[in-house]
Amino acid sequence: MKVLLAEDSASDRLILARLVSRLGHTVIEAEDGTEAVDLFRETQPDLVLLDALMPRMDGMEAARQIKALAGERLVPLIFLTSLSGAGDLARCLEAGGDDFLVKPYNRVILEAKINAFNRMRGLHQALSDQRDHIRRQNQQMLDEQRTARRVFDNIAHTGCLDAPNIRHHASPLSVFNGDVLFAAQRPGGGTLVFLGDFTGHGLPAAIGAMPVAEIFYGMAAKGFGAPDVLREINRKLRRILPVGMFCCGLMVEADFKHNSLRVWNGGLPDGWLLRAAGDRVAIPSRHLPLGVQEPDQFSASMTVLDAAPGDWLVMMTDGLPEAPNSGGESLGEEGVLSVLAGLEAGQEPFEALLERMQQHTGKPELADDLTLCCLQMVRAEAPEAMPDKIPESALTGPADWRCVYELREQTLADFNPMPLLLHICMEVPGLRSRSGEVYTLLSELYNNALEHGVLALSSEWKTSPGGFSRYYQERTRRLGSTDGHFIRFSLEHQPREGGGTLTVVCEDSGDGFDFAEYSDTVMQQQSASTGRYAGRGLEILRRMTRNLKVHGRGNRVEIVYDWWFPDAAIISGA
Amino acid sequence: MNDKPHLDVEALAELQDVMEDEFDVLIQTYLADSRSRIDGLREALATADPEHFAKTAHSFKGSCINIGAPRLGGLCFEAEQLGKDATLEQAPAVLEQIEAEFSEVARRLLNFGQEA
Amino acid sequence: MPIETRRSDDGKTLTICVEGRFDFSTHQSFRDAYEHSEPTVSHYVIDLSDTTYLDSSALGMLLLLRDHAGGDGARISIENCNSDVRRILSISNFEQLFSIR
């Protein structure tokens, strides 16, 4: 060790210096307080022996300055003194001394004290090193999380959370507190929203979130509905998460065309449907969280709710009801309900809930683990070609092809062919930016064939207010007996100069209708009819296609859909 | 009155052991130091500076304790107290005793050194 | 001790009592309670009479026990829940996996 010795008496200094160097340490000598401080700064000793009374700067002041210079380093400081009053000794300690050595200097005592302090120094150093090590590792973890967050963002992106009818709040690092919030426009119109809360937090929670994001956005873009996405998410999480980890979630499929919502809640606090008319419907958790059950036991059954433009859907993770106030009490689900019950006409639930949170916690900033999303029902918009997105695959595709796909019997009830048929069409590069239109065409044809053809449902119900849930119930019931039925799609695509043409023929085994009679009704733009098409459906098809033909008994519909390359469109004046 | 011994022979023997071939240097240093401290005490009296008197006496006391001159150390302690109480009337007498005792200590120390 | 176990006389039922907070800190002792139990145990009883609080890591621990005890074939009952604990179990619909009394 390097020992700094400050003693003004030359003979005493000689004795002590010798005693210390015989113990094997290096001695640095100072004659007074000022010199002691200077030498301390220069040589950075490990231990200091300091005479209490010295000329120029006295021991106490030197001690204070030396301790200040030492900072976080533990440098033991032992006062040398022939002072014997307890009061004087106490003052030494107050000045920063750690111990004192009384004259005459006794080598045994000196050795004992030096060794004891050396051990203490060693311990302190080890602790400091460990603390620094932990600090560095923690910083590294934070950096890794930041990187993981960027990867996650590229997979998850915000989808359509920025749509005008969606309000949301999530912490910037929410994926690491286990919360996820995804929203996507479905190709045929409507919105899919998923709110999730993974057990645990940090990287393990984030790792679960990434595949779920890919599944959600991938399937939504392909036209899959909520039940299929839920089943796939459950299957994936069941497989990859260790037993004991799971994801509580709430899935919403909003259908603006039919003014209806389908919801599924597995483990999250109650969601709420706030109708503009003033009534409230709770959406409680009815299912086990995702990732717990085997696929064959998992239930994706959804609750259907009628919802009209202006109605709000509110969903949250437990961070909101469980946020503590200064007394440690949480707002609770009752607290949340009281905010929703107390809303004034036209007041938005999102702002009201956040304000209540700030009041409750007494803090202006919102807690890290609070995720809230509110979706407002709006009128359906006509599907437009979506702006040219970067195509998901860089592969080129087939331009000249034909395929037939027929569904029969029980499969009609069990399997929705939309995503598959859309996928086939999306293989054509030129159709990729038109997935919305193509999906709409295919699903109008399919829904007509299935619901009005095979199941013989009347579209009257569908369009009456509050009727969609009844319609849906009946639809589910009739799907129980599809024996003897079929739906056949024939798809054909041919390249043309400047673009291409997609021809779709849809046939079904249901009863037909008198097209000639029906077409008059349609021209008059009546929405109610006993015939097959709700007038709107036919209009949509007419508007988007070059040609629409209804053959046979009305159970064979053919559409011809043209598309052009962007530059070609300008040239051909289309 | 002070009936402490002039020299603590055991302590000195130990110092000899510790200092080894530097023992003589130590003795010389102590003697030189002490002379200048005595000068300092005289000066303090001359200028009637009780604080300086007390501090010098305190330092002197310390080195006497370390070297093993208990009686001299005791006298220095008395001088220190006088200085702290700022009653310097009896100080000259004590200073004389200190000087006398110091001569004795010095003589014995030099002999001790030679015997070693 | 936050976790105590009792075995029935016939050795077939293992009762695990959790005292205080059933959260991440009880993880290891909860596992120890059932992992080293005799193979004759066919029924588990989780007694929560003294449990004040239950969080999602406790739900995870229950799932781990269920997996250890045979998954779908496991017989596990959760008993004497206070209202807060009951509410958490019911939001997660755990009565679909455990018998809750």
pLDDT tens for A340-387 read 998 887 789 999 999 998 889 888 777 777 899 999 999 887 655 445
Same domain, A549 and A457: yes
Strand A99-102 and strand A77-81: the pairing is: parallel
Same domain, A226 and A119: no
Minimal-distance CA residue of chain A relative to C63: A244
Give the C-alpha separation, A539 to A436, whole Å.
Answer: 16
Give percent of chain C with pLDDT exceeding 70. 99
* Total beta-carbon pairs less than 8 A apart between chain A and chain B: 52
Domain CATH for C8: 3.30.750.24
Domain CATH for A203: 3.60.40.10
- Average of pLDDT values for A42-64? 85
What range defines the domain where residue A15 resides?
2-126
Report pLDDT for C1: 59
Give the C-alpha separation, B51 to B65, whole Å.
Answer: 21
Do residue C94 and residue A286 have CB atoms under 8 angstroms apart?
no
- Average of pLDDT values for A152-175? 79
Same domain, A450 and A332: no
Report pLDDT for A203: 74
Q: Is residue A179 part of a domain?
A: yes
Tell which of A288, A290, A336 to mutate to test the C interface (max C CBs under 10 Å): A288
Give the residue, A452 or A404, on which the prediction is more confident.
Answer: A404
Domain CATH for A33: 3.40.50.2300
SS3 content of chain C, % helix, strand, coil (to 5): 40, 30, 30
User: Does position C101 have pLDDT exceeding 80, yes or no?
Assistant: yes
Question: What's the first-to-final CA gap in chain A, in angstroms?
Answer: 90
Does residue A17 belong to the interface with chain B, where contact is any CB pair within 8 Å? Answer: no
pLDDT band for A529, please (50, 70, 90 cuts). Answer: very low
Same domain, A241 and A289: yes
Same domain, A448 and A343: no
Give the C-alpha separation, A274 to A272, whole Å.
Answer: 6
For residue A408, give the nearest of A454, A440, A447 by alpha carbon: A454
Same domain, A411 and A542: yes
What is the per-residue pLDDT across A283-322, written as a single tens digit (0 to 9) for each?
A: 999 999 999 999 999 999 999 999 999 999 999 999 889 8
Number of domains in chain C: 1
Q: Which chains touch B (3 or more CB pairs under 8 A)?
A: A
What range defines the domain where residue C20 resides?
3-100
pLDDT band for A204, please (50, 70, 90 cuts). Answer: confident
Same domain, A439 and A545: yes
Report pLDDT for A543: 82
How far is C9 from chain A, CA to nearest CA, in Å? 30
Same domain, A368 and A406: no
Give the C-alpha separation, A138 to A146, whole Å.
Answer: 12
C60, C91, C92: residue with CB nearest A245: C60
Give the residues of chain B that fall short of pLDDT 50.
Answer: 1
Strand A547-551 and strand A556-564: the pairing is: antiparallel
Give the C-alpha separation, A532 to A525, whole Å.
Answer: 14
Same domain, A263 and A163: yes
Give the C-alpha separation, A101 to A419, whole Å.
Answer: 87
Asked if residues A400 and A208 have their Cβ atoms less than 8 Å apart, the reply is: no
Q: Is residue A142 part of a domain?
A: no
In chain C, which residues have their Cβ closer than 8 Å to the Cβ of A237?
none
How far is A44 from chain B, CA to nearest CA, in Å? 27
Beta-carbon contacts of residue C24 (< 8 Å; ≥ 6 apart): C55, C57
CB atoms within 10 A of CB A111: 14
- Average of pLDDT values for A403-413? 92
Same domain, A370 and A405: no
CB atoms within 10 A of CB A41: 11
Task: Kindly list the domain boundaries of chain B, sorted by start residue.
Answer: 9-115
A286, A294, A297: residue with CB nearest C93: A286
Alpha carbon separation from A412 to A113, A228, B76 (Å, rounded): 90, 15, 115
Domain CATH for A478: 3.30.565.10
CA A247 centroid distance within chain: 12
Same domain, A235 and A341: yes
Instruction: Kindly report whether the global pTM for this prediction surpasses the value 0.90.
Output: no
Tell me the DSSP string of A361-382. Answer: H--SSPPTT--EEEEE------
Q: With the CA atoms of A466, A472, A475 and A480 taken in that order, what torsion angle do they form, in degrees rounded to the nearest 10? A: -140
User: Does position A59 have pLDDT exceeding 90, yes or no?
Assistant: no
Question: How confident is the prediction for chain A on average, in pLDDT?
Answer: 85
Most confident listed range (A124-128, A141-145, A263-267, A430-434): A263-267
C60, C72, C91: residue with CB nearest A269: C91
Do residue C59 and residue A248 have CB atoms under 8 angstroms apart?
no
* 8-state DSSP, A269: P
What is the per-residue pLDDT across A95-140, written as a single tens digit (0 to 9) for each?
A: 888 998 888 888 899 999 999 998 998 899 899 999 999 999 999 9
- Average of pLDDT values for A388-410? 77
How is domain B9-115 classified at the CATH fold level?
A: Four Helix Bundle (Hemerythrin (Met), subunit A) (1.20.120)
Report pLDDT for A527: 36
Same domain, A248 and A346: yes
For residue A13, give the nearest of B89, B113, B100, B33 by alpha carbon: B33
In A121-150, the residues whose Cβ lies within 8 Å of chain B are none
Q: Is residue A330 part of a domain?
A: yes
Number of domains in chain A: 3
How far is A32 from chain B, CA to nearest CA, in Å? 13
Q: Which chains touch C (3 or more CB pairs under 8 A)?
A: A
